[in-house]
Amino acid sequence: MVSGQAQQPGPYPMYQPVYQPPHRGASDYIRSAVSDVMIGIVIVVGLFFMWLGSLIAGLTDDLDTWKLGQALNSFGMLATTAGLLLGGILRADMERWVRVALIVSAALLIMTVGYWPASWPF
C-alpha cells in the first residue's frame, strides 16, 4: 500500500445489496382501502340515497321530479350493492359466512329491488 492512502474498511459501498421493500400486489392496496368503516359508510350513504329517492318519487306529481327521485334511488342502490359486494369479495380477513352473507344480500337486493322501476307511473 502506498503511504498516505487510507485503507478501505470492509467491502466497497457500491457492492452492498440494495434494499428492496417487500412486494405488495394491487389487491393488497385495495384491501386496505376497504376497511370496516368504509364499508359501513358506503352502505349507510347508499341506504340514505335510496330512502331520499323513494321519498321524492313518492311525494311528487311531476314527471321530472319523479325521474330525479328514481335516479337518486338507483344511485343509492348502486352504492349499497357495491359496498356489500366489495366487502364480501375483497375482505379475506373476515369470517367466511360473513362474506357469504354480504354477497348473498347484495345479490338479493339486485334481484328483488332492482335499479330502475318496472313501470312509469305517468
pTM of this prediction exceeds 0.85: no
Contact 94, 84 (CB under 8 A): no
Cell of 63: 314527471
Measured distance CA(6)–CA(21) in Å, rounded: 34
Those residues with Cβ within 8 angstroms of residue 89's Cβ, 6 or more apart along the chain or in another chain: 99, 103
Exposed e or buried b per residue across 61-77, where buried means at least 16 C-beta atoms within 10 angstroms of its C-beta: eeeeebeebbebbbbbb
Q: Is the pLDDT of residue 115 over 70?
A: no
Q: Nearest to residue 50, comparing CAs of 83, 24, 26?
A: 83
49-96, pLDDT tens digit by residue?
A: 999 999 998 899 898 999 999 999 999 999 999 999 999 988 888 899
Contact 75, 51 (CB under 8 A): no
| Domain chopping of the chain, boundaries | 33-112
The confidence score (pLDDT) of residue 22 equals 77
Contact 86, 68 (CB under 8 A): no
Q: Nearest to residue 90, comparing CAs of 15, 18, 33?
A: 33
